[in-house]
Amino acid sequence: MSVISVFTNIPTAPPKRESKILADFRRDAHPEKVNLAGREYLNEDGQTTVLPLIWKIKQQIGSDPTLTPGYPPPLGLTELTKRVVELTLGKDSPAIVENRVLGVQAVGCMGAVRLGAELLRRWCNNSASWSGPILLPSPCDDSLAETFEAAGFGNVCYYRYWDANSLGVCAENVLKDLEEAPEQSVVVLSVSGHYPTGADLSVDDWKLVADVMMQRRLFPFFLMSEQGFSKSYEKDAWPVRHCVSLGLEVMCAQSFCHTFGLYGEQVGHLLCVLKHNSFLLAVQSQLEKSVQTLWSSPPTGGARVVATVLSNPAHLIEWQEGVRSQVERCMLIREQLREKLRLLGCPGQWDHLTKQTGLYCCTGLSGHQVEFLGKRRHVYLLDIGCLNISAINSRNVDYVAESIHLAVTTL
């Protein structure tokens, strides 16, 4: 008897590389196995962690009888969007004073990307003067291309970002590719803590990139998923502020998962800076319309936590100090790993480990060396040699360093 179904010929989607790595790791019974391919910040005990301040605020919110369980506005909690805009652009930003900035709460960073992509496709793509593709850095999160494609963009391209020879960002290649990009292209730019490499452009590089963006009439679509986790809140936001100061219109997709430990809450935000405030109401109405078709209204739990912290000067200082301690731990791990590789006599230069910032790190290992680490040493990282630096701790750093040394000297 034949079964008729609308799903008969649907193919099985290939697993995401992170999902496959996690599945391999879970099947591995080796006692010293290490998963370095995750995205969460892990503490010294190898566990996801939440700052004491965040726990306290979550408990206070949970016991507050004045908070009603009703739906929030489609564009999110007003206090959240206001404070995030100020955190990103600075309270004294002329764009804020001139009322040409719009903030929208989103479901995580990728939700913010999708929301911005919807607006660009529906309106910018219908303009006769706008014909450029979406340009993504190579490498980048696989979900980025899929998100823009899901929003209706058929022309997703890449510009060169990571350079395997110098083990860092090649600003020369970035600039060359942007200079050759079609005018009116949308360029996705990682502000800080680039995933998956952890390598960022310098201030001087950003100035040159901004100049090219203006000359070529390119539209900057920033990604900022861990503001404050790379350098500082001010320094991490500087590229966005600089482009805004030059008069560029920008979008910025943001996330507060890492810095608040709210991984299950998916607190995202889309920042839009416009040329003139006369466009504000129209853009706001279109974003609200898109939100209602994507997720109707955003979740409030984590958003209230973030808004509470950003609205209280004492909380803000305590939160910044807590995040700074996590950043310092990551930098210490980088230094320890580099030093242990040096003492082992591991071939090659490893200074790039400490030049990178944020949660992620690109080792420069080849695909064959990564495969060796997984199969022979039970150490799992992304196939391009990138890893989550916080997953290394005092208990496994020696084993990880020895494993990398073996991979480099064996292959």
258 and 116 in a single domain? The answer is: yes
Which residue type sits at 126?
A: N
217 and 348 in a single domain? The answer is: no
pLDDT score, position 128: 47
ω into residue 139 within 30 of 0, thus cis?
Answer: yes
pLDDT score, position 1: 56
Helix (H, G, I), strand (E, B) or coil at 151: coil
- Give me the residues paired with residue 387 across strands: 361
User: With a cut of 50, which residues of the chain have pLDDT below it?
Assistant: 128
Euclidean distance between CA atoms 212 and 177, whole angstroms: 10
Q: Is 130 inside a domain boundary? A: yes
pLDDT score, position 381: 96
Euclidean distance between CA atoms 236 and 258, whole angstroms: 14
Q: Is 122 inside a domain boundary? A: yes
Task: Tell me whether strands 186-190 and 34-35 are parallel, antiparallel or unpaired.
Answer: unpaired
pLDDT score, position 2: 65
Burial of residue 5 (CB within 10 Å: 0-12, 13-18, 19+) is exposed
Euclidean distance between CA atoms 136 and 148, whole angstroms: 10
330 and 202 in a single domain? The answer is: no
pLDDT tens digit string along 136-176?
999 999 899 999 999 988 899 999 999 999 999 999 999 99
pLDDT score, position 77: 96
Euclidean distance between CA atoms 179 and 304, whole angstroms: 42
Task: Tell me whether strands 101-107 and 267-273 are parallel, antiparallel or unpaired.
Answer: antiparallel
CATH code of the domain covering residue 375: 3.90.1150.10
266 and 349 in a single domain? The answer is: no
Q: How many residues does the chain have?
A: 411
Euclidean distance between CA atoms 61 and 59, whole angstroms: 5
Q: Helices 78-89 and 233-245, interaxial angle, to 10°?
A: 80
291 and 232 in a single domain? The answer is: yes
Q: Is 227 inside a domain boundary? A: yes
311, 333, 368: which is the final residue of a domain?
311
CATH code of the domain covering residue 127: 3.40.640.10
Residue that the structure tokens 């034949």 belong to: 2
pLDDT score, position 4: 83
Long-range CB contacts for residues 156-160, cutoff 8 Å, separation at least 24: 157/133, 159/135, 159/187
pLDDT score, position 111: 97
pLDDT tens digit string along 74-119?
999 999 999 999 999 999 999 999 999 999 999 999 999 999 999 9
166 and 194 in a single domain? The answer is: yes
Domain that residue 372 falls in: 17-50+325-410
Contacts of 239 (CB under 8 A, 6+ apart): 189, 191, 201, 206, 209, 210, 222
Contact yes or no for 177/210 (Cβ under 8 A): no
Q: Is 254 inside a domain boundary? A: yes
Which residue type sits at 55?
A: W
Q: Is 82 inside a domain boundary? A: yes
In total, how many domains does the chain have? 2
339 and 305 in a single domain? The answer is: no
